[in-house]
Amino acid sequence: MSEFSVHRKDMDEISVLNLDGYLDAHTAPSFEESLKQLVDEGRFKIIVNCDKLAYISSAGLGVFMGYIEDVRANNGDIKMSNMSEKVFKIFDLLGFPSLYEIVDEEGEAVDKFSNINS
């Protein structure tokens, strides 16, 4: 069974989801539940930290697609950070960098949300 976990960290208005392990069709529901929980709580400024994300398939990519419209409609965003080259290649292959903000470090994503607020 693929190993995967999501660890959530809240910082004022911003929530960070730290992904750890293998995000495939088996584990995508776990990630989806975490995103849904944030949206249900009205927390729309979301950073997905991919530092420990070892693998992603289209099932995982589909989770991002499933929530981005709703989040942006509420003046929020899903930004991604700390992505390995291997995982970034998959996002890049499909053109995701044109739709999602992908930054090197989590702090940059925090700054971008903060700049919007100021």
Partner 1 sequence: MATKTKKFLLVTPSESDFLDIIRDFVGKIARSAGFSDDYVSKIQLSVDEACTNVIRHAYLGMKQKDIEIRVELNAKKLVVSVVDRGRGFKPESKHVDDMEAYLSEYRKGGLGLHLIKLLMDEVQFSIHPNKMNIITLVKYLDDKQTLGTKRNRKSILEKPHARKR
Which residue, 71 or 110, has its beta carbon nearer to partner 1? 71
Are β-strands 4-11 and 14-23 bridged in parallel, bridged antiparallel, or unpaired?
A: antiparallel
Taking residues 58 to 97 in sequence order and writing x for each that binds partner 1 by CB under 8 A, - otherwise, the string is xx-xx--xx-xx----------------x---x--xxxx-
Torsion of CA 58, 84, 15, 109, to 10 degrees: -120
Give the neighbor-by-neighbor strand order of the sheet with 14-23: 4-11, 14-23, 45-56, 77-81, 101-103
Which residue, 69 or 118, has its beta carbon nearer to partner 1? 69
Q: How many CB atoms are closer than 10 A to CB 99?
A: 13
**5 sits near partner 1 (criterion: CB under 8 A):** no
Name the site residues for partner 1 (rule: CB under 8 A).
Answer: 1-2, 22, 24-26, 55, 57-59, 61-62, 65-66, 68-69, 86, 90, 93-96, 98-99
